[in-house]
Amino acid sequence: MYSTAMSLSAASAAAVASTASSRPNAIRPAAGLRFCGLRREALGLRSLRSSTQVVAARRSVAAAATAGNGAAGSGGFDYDLVIIGAGVGGHGAALHAVEKVSSAGYDRQAVADHANNLASKIRSNLTNSMKALGVDILTGIGTILGKQKVRYGKVGFPDNEITARNIIIATGSVPFVPKGIEIDGKTVFTSDHALKLESVPDWIAIVGSGYIGLEFSDVYTALGSEVTFVEALDQLMPGFDPEIGKLAQRILINPRKIDYYTGVFASKITPAKDGKPVLIELIDAKTKEHTETLEVDAALIATGRAPFTKGLGLENINVVTQRGFVPVDERMQVMDADGNVVPNLYCIGDANGKLMLAHAASAQGISVVEQIGGRDNILNHLSIPAACFTHPEISMVGLTEPQAREKADKEGFEISVVKTSFKANTKALAENEGDGLAKMIYRSDTGEILGVHILGLHAADLIHEASNAIALGTRVQDIKFTVHAHPTLSEVLDELFKAAKVNADVTHSVNEPVVA
């Protein structure tokens, strides 16, 4: 019997798929696929949702054992695949494994309740979908003991050990907090705390102007707050294509109650207490000299995320993390300290640091399951889109213009750039959302699409035509003949593709995916 294991959510549980015979009312996974996923508890800070769930989990394990769901039925292993971690990546991997084998006035509390209820609903849906596929949930912290062996357990209860033919690490990440910053969760907090929206400060400093910082500036200014960005680099939104970043600053920052400091570090942040405000000490990023002290009502730390890989037991298999990230090859196979592949061990998502996006984690998980099933699969990370959910939205896929020019100089080819405006789109004008730009960088000699960047209405939805083109190796000379409905926002990309000029002697696409 083939068995697989995955992790389901970020609270602290292990998901184990047992044979349907141990659950008469459960949907039978195809080909008797069995799962186990370990959800890792962050230093015991999160509590179990209910004691009933724990009992149910224990009963399911016992039922699995008595139903002959152990080593003898899985080629000597308890499971064929264990996934440690319970976010979108682990969930996507498990689903695929089953498939393969088978400032106007507002109500702050209402907004906060909606956010919390949505998060709870999504978490519940992830859990329920796994249960419906025959996945048992085992609560505990997962630790790798050795080759194909995992221990899980929780404080106050005996540990359990299971074996697995394959293991996927999918433990995700936590907010990164630089040294010198004191988090109290009330006046100095991370994005995790901000989602609770327990209060709306009159003046909030946001440390970091990337995706997270920009999105929260959009939220807080809409709720009436004044925002101050603190950015270590010399420009805001350093990860964006520079042209898109400048337009975003004109549309999303300049007209709003937002000011900013660039080229400075927040060397020390002290929470508000005893009637005193939050204090932020700024130092020059180059000279490290003190420049100013800000006094604000609150501070959001949006300096990125750090891999959640401590306590995994990687030392037991001679694996050394790099800045906390688990080293992997292009197939997501974990590499040991000697540069060798660790057999049957994979790492996906934020824990490997290749591309810290939820949907990237899911795609990596699916790719790994394909490999486990005997079908080689290498994910092209340049085809994975990213989006910033502001108003209007920003999205991107592939290379920025500076990255593309650097690649062109190194490899000896020329690039071309075309742009279209949302002001020329009928649907955007009808929605009174004419601000926006779409931009494509491509090779004029071959028609290869190197990158697409969009700022405008529903940019996060529009980007997928471009990302799919890159993934499938579709060239400009082919995609420019596709038809788009009128009047729709998709015509922004239609005009973009049609504006591209490819050398006359270039034939149609060879349909080979573009790789880095």
Q: Which residues are catalytic?
A: 486
**Torsions phi, psi for 84 (to 5 deg):** -95, 110
Q: Is 212 annotated as a binding residue?
A: yes
What's at 398, amino acid-wise?
G
Residue with tokens 């204090």: 279
Q: Is 453 annotated as a binding residue?
A: no
Q: Is 208 annotated as a binding residue?
A: yes
Q: Can you give the three-state secondary structure of 296-358, one letter per residue? A: ECEEEECCCEEECCCCCCHHHHCCCCECCECCECCCCEEECCCCCEEEEEEECHHHCCCCCCH
Measured CA to CA, the distance from residue 143 to residue 151 in angstroms comes to: 5
Q: Can you spell out the DSSP letters for 243-264?
A: HHHHHHIIIIITTSSEEEEESE
Q: Is 211 annotated as a binding residue?
A: yes
Q: Is 209 annotated as a binding residue?
A: yes
Give the pairing type, strands 226-231 and 203-207.
Answer: parallel
- Cβ neighbors of 356 (< 8 A, separation 6 or more) are 173, 304, 305, 349, 350
Q: Is 173 annotated as a binding residue?
A: yes
Q: Is 43 annotated as a binding residue?
A: no
Length of the chain: 516
User: Residue 205, SS3?
Assistant: strand
> Between vectors from CA 303 to CA 301 and to CA 304, what angle results, nearest 5°?
120
Q: Is 210 annotated as a binding residue?
A: yes
Q: Is 215 annotated as a binding residue?
A: yes
Q: Can you spell out the DSSP letters for 130-165?
A: HHHTTEEEE-SEEEEEETTEEEEE-TTS--EEEEEE
**Nearest C-alpha neighbor of 17 from the set 86, 89, 81:** 81
Q: Is 283 annotated as a binding residue?
A: no
Q: Is 398 annotated as a binding residue?
A: no
Q: Is 448 annotated as a binding residue?
A: no
Measured CA to CA, the distance from residue 468 to residue 492 in angstroms comes to: 16
Q: Is 172 annotated as a binding residue?
A: yes
Of the CA atoms within 13 Å of residue 223, those in its CB half-sphere come to 22
Residues marked as binding for NAD(+)? 208-215, 231, 304
Residues marked as binding? 142, 171-173, 208-215, 231, 304, 350, 356-359
Residues marked as binding for FAD? 142, 171-173, 350, 356-359
